[in-house]
Structure 1
Amino acid sequence: MAETTKDELVQLIKRFGAFLTLKMSNLFPISLDTLDSRSVGALAGLAVAMFFTWRLLRSPSGTRRRQPKRQAPAPSSSGASSHSNAPIIPSGVSSSSEARAQNVIDEFFQPVKPTLAQIVRQKLSEGRKVTCRLLGVILEESSPEELQKQATVRSSVLEVLLEITKFCDLYLMERVLDDESESKVLLALEEAGVFTSGGLVKDKVLFCSTETGRSSFVRQLEPDWHIDTNPEIIFQLARFIKYQLHVSPIRSERAAGNVFNSPSLEQFFGCI
């Protein structure tokens, strides 16, 4: 099909050249007797240019590779292979070509790395409401006594936390010893930019004076997920909450089939 198209193109060019020559002769009637040396040279140059242009267009379609004649295998008593006349292809060329082709295939079918938003949705099993304690999960501090001095948001958890607020209805909660501790926690969250995404507001940061009070918050909110560091609360809520994440540096046996373990919140989502 390709050769036929090229032949048709060459014939079209020939016809156009003949037509153009006829028109030029009609417009400029000249004879060889009236041509000077400069005119003859110009016409000769034009003829040579047209000839090589025609050969260039004709050569891909006009020339064909000659197939080597197959020779009958010479009889041999030594049992040599009958394919001795087959062309020999260097093994390096074949192997390198196959390797490049395989690399292209591997790159094409390489799985696309999921985004953090996709990971969060997958890990949370499309859960829409999440409750989470602050100490040891969101904050560097691990006890209410430390909150009386300072409150520091863990930088490594910030990206995951903000992604959860975009997808889920998130409530943060913690036991504190005084009002000053509450103010320190809210200020630390605000300076970290937790409230700027629009998914989390200060009214969804809850404080209580006992561990039992935090457990009561969770049961009243009825979340799809609860995240905590206290194994006792995890155990108490296992019957009431669909899923729970126990954040602890020490991996413990799962208290129930709906309880997961991770050293940190960000590690649970594969961010470390």
Structure 2
Amino acid sequence: MVDTSKEELLQLIKRLGTYITVKMSNFLPISFHNLDSRSIGAVAGLAVAIIFTWRMLRSPSGSQPRQRKRQAATPSNSGVSTQSNASLIPSGVCSPSDDLRAQNVVDEFFQPVKPTLGQIVRQKLSEGRKVTCRLLGVILEESSPEELQKQATVRSSVLEVLLEITKFCDLYLMERVLDDESEKRVLVALEDAGVFTSGGLVKDKVLFCSTENGRSSFVRQLEPDWHIDTNPEIVTQLARFIKYQLHVSPVRTDRTAANVFSAPSFEQFFGSI
């Protein structure tokens, strides 16, 4: 009986090793293929050991009561039938249920982990370290300099992404304004929204100009990895000089260049990988 259990365990380990090899080759297609056969065996062996240790620590007696119930409900002559059926299965051969058990264990171990917002932002920005972004229509609810003469309102839906970007990027915000009062309104709105509290963005990195060409000039001087804008003309002009751009437009537009991406809003671009 003990030898049979050991043999079943060995067969299950073999099945797990094979299934893990396939699973890991799909899970890590690049790095896994660079490994030699000894490294693959070591990784698979370690994974099997971890999985079985984890499984053994869980309650092993969950299936016993159900087995006793079935035995109790079976007629007396079922013992002969069970023994005869068991003898039909050759020693050392795994049943389909063993394969299923192995797959279930490995599938549970390799459950995909949902990426954090920080990971999504980093991947979307291709690990870029400097970002420039206009305010109107992207960070602010207002869409024209004339509106800023009356009020400035930060869109609450962008705050989480904006603050995440400031954690690992050098971020500059910029906008065209018509007077000094508009500048003050924008800075107060950003401060009230908590944009400056994280330490990643300071007021000196909020830039103002009087023309659209002035904003374009800011971007070229700063040489960011990414620029985010709503003006298609500026996006087109900068396509030759900036590595990546995001054109924010509620209307779907044709892609003007390979390094220009588009999205209906700032936050929707970072909504998923």
| TM-score interval, normalised by the smaller of the two chains | 0.5 to 0.7
Aligned-pair CA distance for 1:167 = 0.7
Secondary structure at 2:171 match in 1: strand
**Hey, what's the Cα distance between the residues in 1 that align with 2:258 and 2:272?**
24
Measured against aligned partners, the alpha-carbon deviations of 1:100-153 in whole angstroms (never above 9, x if no partner) come to: 876554332221111111111111111111000000100011111111111111
Shift of 1:188: 0.4
Work out the CA distance in 1 between the residues paired with 2:219 and 2:111: 42
Task: Name the TM-score, length of structure 2 as normaliser.
Answer: 0.63
Q: Does the CA contact (< 8 Å) of 2:133 and 2:229 recur in 1?
A: yes
Q: TM-score, normalised to structure 1's length?
A: 0.64
CA distance in 1, matches of 2:168, 2:80: 71
Letter in 1 for 2:201: L
Identity within the alignment, %: 83
Distance 2:210 2:229 in 1: 16
Match in the other structure for 1:161 = 162
Q: Which has the higher helix share?
A: 2
Secondary structure class of the residue paired with 1:163? helix
3-state SS of 2:235 partner:
helix
Structure 1 position 176 matched with structure 2 position 177: yes
| Structure 1 residue aligned with 2:263 | 262
Alpha-carbon contact 2:249-2:264 (below 8 Å) kept: yes
Contact 2:120/2:272, CA 8 A, preserved across alignment: no
User: How far did 1:96 drift?
Assistant: 9.9
Describe the SS at the equivalent of 2:131: strand
* Offset at residue 86 of structure 1 (A): 2.3
Instruction: State the alpha-carbon separation in 1 of the partners of residues 202 and 83 from structure 2.
Output: 82
Residue-by-residue CA offset, 1:178-210 (whole Å, 9 max, x unaligned): 111100000000001100111100000000011
SS at match of 1:86: helix
Residue identity opposite 2:85 in structure 1: A
Asked if 1:86 corresponds to 2:85, the answer is yes
Q: How many residues align?
A: 192
What code does the residue aligned with 1:205 have?
V
CA distance in structure 2 between the partners assigned to 1:96 and 1:189 by the alignment? 60
1: CA distance, partners of 2:257 / 2:79: 78
What is the rounded CA distance, in whole Å, between the counterparts of 2:186 and 2:96 in structure 1? 63
**Could you say if the C-alpha distance between residues 268 and 196 of structure 1 is closer, same or farther in structure 2, counting changes exceeding 3 Å?**
same
- Residues 1:210 and 1:97: Cα distance change in structure 2 (over 3 Å): same
Aligned partner of residue 138 in structure 2, secondary structure:
coil
Q: Aligned residue for 2:200?
A: 199
Partner of 2:230: 229
Greater C-alpha Rg: 1
